[in-house]
Amino acid sequence: MRQLLKKMRFAKTNSGLLALLLALGAFGAGFIAYLILDRAFFVKKKVPAAYEYPIEQLAVIDPGLIVCRQVGSPIETGLQRASAVDVDAQGILYAAGDEKILVFSSSGRKEKEIILPAMPTALKTAEGLLYTALTERIELYSPQGEQLAVWANIPAALLTSIAVGREDVFAADALHKVVRRFDKQGNPLGLIGQKDAERGIEGFVVPSPYFDILIAPDGLLRVVNPGRQRVEAYTFDGHLEWHWGSPSMGIEGFCGCCNPVALAMLPDGTFVTAEKGLVRVKLYDDEGNLLGVVAGPRQLGWQAPIRVCEGPQDCQVRGLDVAADPQGRIYVLEQVRNTILVFEKIQ
């Protein structure tokens, strides 16, 4: 009996210790259960280098190659979806998008809006007229916004660029992968760029809706062949004369699957090219030699290879459009922020 009382006293005096031991045991059991049940605990935390694609490294451009500087602040177009930019001989700037054409003064002040019946997909100013493509057709406007002509619809076409010559008008059709030739009244005269082994024409490859053309002072048409990463020179009759350009992530070539996306020409005959993806605007001579970089990814606001988008519309691939004025200034329409950046050569 005495021993029992002694034991009870011992238990009473050490109840705190026992409680502590019990608590520690429960905690230990809980921790072990957590480790067993929560499999995330064992998950590897570091992403191996083999799973990463370090595109950021490719975005770095040797500063010594940059031959242009940005002039002034970017021109905010206010458009939700800007599609094209062009500039006339007087330096008046035009931006197309959101079912309208915006007219800016040479200082970048918005002067006028021309309302269109549909989303414009291309814009060209020539001979005091505005030629705009509305997916399947071309419409002509006066600078005051008066509609002058509507050319016939081309079924299932996607007209992404217009070039205007003395007697001809050309339109690049990204869906049919051809350049369409018209007279000044809009009558079709023929197609350029269809596959023709005898004439050595491999055909245009246009994986995304970027297919640009221009008429050079030498009287030849320059057509971007984005899927083959080159620029091709054609006569108005459709003879392929030569081509230049090569695929490369390096600065000397055109990066990705389908570049360049836009083409312009400076008064001295230098070509301005724009690339989407790893956005770059560069200068080339007519044999495809790189003359310098207008702006690289960092100058054009590129931040990451993939953007977090609000939805499908926001996430559509957006590129660049370029235009050049008679003074040699280069206008870059950046289609993510819908702004126009102006560059000029560093003297």
Partner 1 sequence: MEHQPSEFFSRRQFLKDGVWTVSAALGGAASALLAARSRRQGWLWQIDPYKCIACGRCATHCVLTESAVKCVHAFALCGYCDLCTGYFGPEPKALDTGAEHQLCPTGAIRRRFIEEPYFEFTIDESRCIGCGKCVVGCSAFGNGSLFLQVRQDRCLNCNECSIARVCPSRAFVRVPADQPYLLKDAAS
* Contacting residues toward partner 1, per CB under 8 A: 39-40, 43-48, 50-53, 55, 58, 202, 205, 207-208, 227-229, 247-250, 255-259, 276-278, 304-315, 317
What size, in residues, is the chain?
A: 347
How many CB atoms lie under 10 A from the CB of residue 270?
Answer: 18
> Shortest gap between Cβ of 260 and partner 1 (angstroms)?
12
Judged by beta carbon, residue 17 or residue 306, the one nearer partner 1 is: 306
Distance CA 221, CA 347 (A): 30
**Residue 3 main-chain phi, psi, to 5 deg:** -65, -40
List Cβ neighbours of 193 (8 Å cut-off, separation of 6 or more): 177, 178, 179, 201, 203, 204, 223, 232, 234, 238
Q: Compute the least distance from the CB of residue 217 to partner 1, in Å.
A: 32
Contact 284, 290 (CB under 8 A): yes
Q: Least distance to partner 1 from the beta carbon of 232, Å?
A: 15
**Residue with smaller CB distance to partner 1, 276 or 329:** 276
What are phi and psi for residue 76, nearest 5 degrees? -80, 120
Least separation, in Å, of the C-beta of 173 and partner 1?
Answer: 16
Q: How far is the CB of 56 from partner 1 (least distance, A)?
A: 10
Q: Looking at beta carbons only, is 58 or 336 nearer to partner 1?
A: 58
Strand partners, 135: none
Cα dihedral sign, 271-277-280-284: negative
Please compute, for residue 192, the number of CA atoms within 13 A of its CA located in the half-sphere on the CB side. 27
Position 238: which residue type?
G
Bridge partners of 171, per DSSP, are 162, 180
Which is closer to partner 1, CB of 154 or CB of 279?
A: 279
Taking the least distance from each CB to partner 1, the nearer of 155 and 312 is: 312
Residue 317: which of 257, 265, 273, 271 has the closest Cα? Answer: 257
Name which of 13 and 41 has its Cβ closer to partner 1: 41
State the DSSP code for 316: S
Nearer to partner 1 by Cβ, of 107 and 313: the residue is: 313
In the bound complex, what is the minimum distance in angstroms from residue 278's beta carbon to partner 1?
7
Residue 163: CB minimum distance to partner 1, A: 24
Q: Residues 217, 223, 224, CA angle at the centre, nearest 5°? A: 130
Q: How far apart, in whole angstroms, are the C-alpha atoms of residue 324 and residue 344?
A: 10
User: What is the nearest approach in angstroms of partner 1 to the Cβ of residue 204?
Assistant: 11
How far apart CA 185 and CA 191 sit, in angstroms, is 17
- Give the residue with the Cβ less far from partner 1, 1 or 49: 49
In the complex with partner 1, the residue whose CB is nearer, 52 or 167, is 52
Least distance from partner 1 to the Cβ atom of residue 229, Å: 7
The rounded distance, in Å, linking the Cα atoms of 87 and 236 is 24
Task: Map tokens 């018209």 to a residue.
Answer: 182
Specify the pairing of strand 75-76 against strand 137-141.
unpaired
